[in-house]
Amino acid sequence: MPAHLQPLHLLLIGPGRIGADLARRLRADGHDVRILTRADYGDFAAPTFNPRHALRAIPPHTPAPDAILHLAGLFQIGPDANPDHLRHANADGPIALAETLHERFPHAHHILFLDARVNRPPQTDPPPLRPYLAAKRALAAWALRAARDWGRATGARVNAIAPGPVLPPPDPAHSEKAGECLTPRPTLADIHACVTLLLAVPSLTGQTLYPAAGQHLL
């Protein structure tokens, strides 16, 4: 952790494999990390989803988070991928939850997690990835609007990290070739470094960092 970055109160949402590693590293840095899981915020795709349910898992006396990290999402490709489910899991649900948390913690910095391929033209998307990437692009577009609107209203920051092939998908049926890299492949340590940078530089907002080994350029 940079010497000038004091310990922070962080709220981490939906920790999968990357999120669990990130939480461990952030705690080792001295940050206080509170985690919300699906048991707290519910199923984004369920008709009964209510983002306000997540507030019940945050006791009233809890210090306001300095930053909220959104790692909840769903990766599916192929004929079994459900476009509506992917949109709810990767865009509509996370956006609704972020907006609800912003109402309660209007000054918190939000860090979203995207996919490096959102930087490419949509027409170049392989057909099996189109529903997933369309949802991630919707989340990226919302992040820019939120950074502008929340920044004007409360000074809150909104940034994003769009990783490349850090880890293979947990489901072997969803595995893909990593593809060409311009630098060494990104690692979990790179994700931690990107989060630390965003936490440490208070003038950064509306930005997307690409720890992607240059794949977002290809």
* Residue 3 is assigned to a structural domain of this protein: no
* Residue 59 is assigned to a structural domain of this protein: yes
Which pLDDT value is given to residue 37? Answer: 94
Which pLDDT value is given to residue 89? Answer: 95
Which pLDDT value is given to residue 84? Answer: 93
* Residue 2 is assigned to a structural domain of this protein: no
* Residue 148 is assigned to a structural domain of this protein: yes
Which pLDDT value is given to residue 16? Answer: 86
* Residue 186 is assigned to a structural domain of this protein: yes
* Residue 111 is assigned to a structural domain of this protein: yes
* Residue 142 is assigned to a structural domain of this protein: yes
Which pLDDT value is given to residue 20? Answer: 94
Domain count, the chain: 1
Which residue do the tokens 């595995």 mark? 175
First-residue to last-residue Cα distance in the chain: 32
Which pLDDT value is given to residue 205? Answer: 98
DSSP summary character for residue 45: T
How many angstroms separate the most distant Cα atoms in the chain? 49
Q: State the CATH number of the domain containing residue 64.
A: 3.40.50.720
Which pLDDT value is given to residue 174? Answer: 53
By residue range, what is the domain housing residue 118? 9-217
* Residue 4 is assigned to a structural domain of this protein: no
H or E segment at 60? none
Which pLDDT value is given to residue 169? Answer: 64
pLDDT tens, residue order, the chain (218 aa): 555 678 999 999 998 889 999 999 999 999 999 999 999 999 998 989 999 999 999 988 889 999 999 999 988 887 778 899 999 999 999 999 999 999 999 999 999 999 999 999 999 988 888 999 999 999 999 999 999 999 999 999 999 999 998 876 666 665 556 678 899 999 999 999 999 999 999 999 999 999 999 989 88
Which pTM value belongs to this model? Answer: 0.93
Return d(Cα 153, Cα 172) in angstroms, integer: 45
Which pLDDT value is given to residue 1? Answer: 54
